[in-house]
Amino acid sequence: MPELPDLEAIQEFLLRELVGSRVSSVEVLQPIPIRRPTPEEFVRQLTGNLLTSVSRRGKFLLLSMESGHVLALNPMLTGRLQYCDARERRRARTCFILAFQGGRQLRYFDAKLMGKVYLVEESRTREIPRWEEMGPEALAPQVTLEVFRQRLRRHPGQIKNILVNDTFLTGIGNAYADEILFAAGVYPFRKRTSLSQEEAEALFRAMRQVLEEATTIVSSRMGDDIHVKIRDFLRVHGKGGQACPRCGGSVSQITANQRLTNYCHTCQPRLP
């Protein structure tokens, strides 16, 4: 799943490469991810439209059009955007293609058709399901330590589940939740109520550091390959069975709550 660092890098790329470009044609190949409007209306509204801005809200990438419409893409687990020449071979499960003047294309492909795509008027983004329920951006300046603590107190349950819950803060997914918890030295399955004030502060500091550093790394390495998920620099996520970069022990890997979780038993101990 693209998370805050990935989407920030994609946003920067599209701002640089595509803003001010006009859509010459639209092709819908797999309509399933397009939740609103109909495929026919999707094609009609976007053809000839000018891309005026690109922004992000949580795990949504937002392409603003001259007509006042916003193309809101939530890639979910398997959705990817690809920017390429029109002659390049199409990937399996390419769902739709926006062709721009000049011969380049922005393609959306999704191996499991899990993503959700909406084309709505800018004033009606609140009608996108769960849009109004999203919490503040994880790196928003207004999310101070005190705000972080206040929002944390609203949520019961295990701390990793809270971190990936968009109603807490938005933009954090499975991979970066693992990284934040490792950096803070917090066991992923700890109950929120068991955290001390010091541990909550450590989580806040780790969240900002991990996401900021990852955004810088991904932005510097992504280039034109906006469909590539850059995760090799992560310290524990996806590193099950490898040596912990802090203590040298083995990184654990388990599946819980339908998520892969990686952590270090030594650096992230359970409560006694």
Q: Which one from 57, 59, 80, 107 is the annotated catalytic residue?
A: 59
Is 116 considered catalytic here? Answer: no
Is residue 132 a contact partner of residue 139, using CB atoms and an 8 Å limit? no
* CATH code: domain of residue 96: 3.20.190.10
Length of the chain: 272
Residues 39, 109 within the same domain: yes
**Residue 140 domain flag:** no
Residues 152, 123 within the same domain: no
Is residue 84 a contact partner of residue 109, using CB atoms and an 8 Å limit? no
Q: Which one from 2, 5, 33, 75 is the annotated catalytic residue?
A: 2
* CATH code: domain of residue 165: 1.10.8.50
SS (H, E, C) 3-65: CHHHHHHHHHHHHHHCCCCEEEEEEECCCCCEEECCHHHHHHHHCCCEEEEEEEECCEEEEEE
Is residue 261 a contact partner of residue 239, using CB atoms and an 8 Å limit? no
Is 80 considered catalytic here? Answer: no
Give residue 225's domain range.
145-264
Is residue 51 a contact partner of residue 118, using CB atoms and an 8 Å limit? no
Q: Which of 127, 162, 179 is the last residue of a domain?
A: 127
- 272 residues of the chain, pLDDT tens digit each: 789 999 999 999 999 999 999 999 999 999 999 999 999 999 999 999 999 999 999 999 999 999 999 999 999 988 999 999 999 999 999 999 999 988 899 999 999 999 999 999 999 999 999 899 999 999 999 999 999 999 999 998 999 999 999 999 999 999 999 999 999 999 999 999 999 999 999 999 999 999 999 999 999 999 889 999 999 999 999 999 999 999 999 999 999 878 899 999 999 998 75
Residues 185, 100 within the same domain: no
Is 3 considered catalytic here? Answer: yes
Q: How many CB atoms lie within 10 A of CB 38?
A: 12
Q: How many structural domains are present in the chain?
A: 2
Residues 66, 14 within the same domain: yes
Is 154 considered catalytic here? Answer: no
